[in-house]
């Protein structure tokens, strides 16, 4: 199909003109963009927000919840913790409404990470543990690894370095086994903790 022609099968492309600014956001719809392209965080936020408006207008609540999770990750990476928490809470609300357990796990895992810099380590642990239970029941290895890592960060914040290392080691093992790019960040953090124990 000619890339300049609207794709009727894609609601984000249908009816959009060539110069429609929404077209520029399509390449950034991949949540991996906010992990693998840190220099594009601002563009990612703008695109996710524009896509959120489109999905709301279309009544696409499933995509709305997904975009709130993407925004939560992007805001966190940009250092806007309160906006990240609000986005994850919105994602969690929609996940509950739709009984979407995996999306619920994603939102809880994100909240677990976002509470840490605010000093709410115990809340972070609670959210991360709930997310981990969901991902284990759903056999989602990627989610398990991420939730374990977030849990390790929260536990470390409370001063339990030994347990944090054990949790991070388990997270790294899971993420490495599935070839997740997130494994590198876990290994880096793990190495930092291990050096401090020597």
In this predicted model, what pLDDT tens digit does every residue of 129-138 receive, in sequence order?
A: 999 999 999 9
Nearest to 153 by CA among 107, 198, 195, 185: 185
Please give the structure tokens belonging to residue 43.
């563009």
pLDDT averaged over the chain?
Answer: 84
Distance between CA atoms of 190 and 185, rounded to whole angstroms?
9
**What is the pLDDT at residue 92?**
97
140 and 177 share one domain: yes
83 and 126 share one domain: no
- Do residues 66 and 87 touch, judged by C-beta distance below 8 A? no
78 and 37 share one domain: yes
Sort 84 into a burial class: Cβ within 10 Å, 0-12 / 13-18 / 19+.
Answer: buried
- Answer yes or no: is 114 within a domain: no
**Residue spans of alpha helices (H) in the chain:** 33-36, 41-58, 61-77, 81-98, 101-114, 121-137, 141-157, 161-177, 183-197
pLDDT band at 13 (very low <50, low <70, confident <90, very high): very low
68 and 157 share one domain: no
Write down how long the chain is: 198
- Answer yes or no: is 115 within a domain: no
58 and 143 share one domain: no
- Answer yes or no: is 111 within a domain: no
- Answer yes or no: is 108 within a domain: no
pLDDT band at 37 (very low <50, low <70, confident <90, very high): low
Specify the 3-state DSSP secondary structure of 13.
coil
pLDDT at 117 over 90: yes
Distance between CA atoms of 171 and 65, rounded to whole angstroms?
26
Query: Which position has the higher pLDDT, 7 or 139?
Result: 139
Please give the structure tokens belonging to residue 197.
């124990």
pLDDT band at 46 (very low <50, low <70, confident <90, very high): confident
- Answer yes or no: is 31 within a domain: yes
pLDDT at 34 over 90: no
pLDDT at 41 over 70: yes
Please give the structure tokens belonging to residue 84.
């990240």
Q: Which of the listed residues 99, 131, 162 is the one where a domain comes to its end? A: 99
Domain that holds residue 64: 1-99
């Amino acid at each position: 199909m000619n890339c300049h022609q609207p794709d009727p099968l894609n609601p984000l492309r249908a009816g959009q003109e060539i110069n429609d600014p929404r077209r520029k956001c399509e390449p950034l719809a991949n949540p991996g963009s906010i992990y693998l392209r840190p220099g594009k965080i601002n563009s990612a936020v703008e695109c996710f927000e524009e896509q959120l408006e489109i999905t709301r207008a279309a009544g696409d609540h499933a995509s709305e919840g997904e975009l709130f999770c993407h925004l939560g990750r992007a805001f966190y990476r940009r250092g806007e913790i309160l906006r990240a928490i609000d986005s994850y809470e919105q994602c969690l609300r929609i996940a509950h409404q739709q009984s979407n357990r995996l999306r619920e796990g994603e939102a809880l895992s994100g909240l677990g990470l976002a509470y840490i810099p605010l000093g709410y380590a115990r809340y972070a642990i609670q959210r991360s543990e709930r997310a981990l239970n969901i991902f284990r029941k759903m056999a989602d290895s990627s989610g398990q690894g991420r939730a374990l890592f977030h849990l390790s960060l929260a536990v470390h914040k409370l001063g339990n370095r030994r347990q944090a290392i054990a949790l991070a080691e388990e997270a790294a093992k899971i993420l490495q086994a599935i070839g997740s790019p997130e494994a590198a960040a876990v290994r880096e953090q793990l190495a930092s903790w291990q050096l401090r124990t020597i």
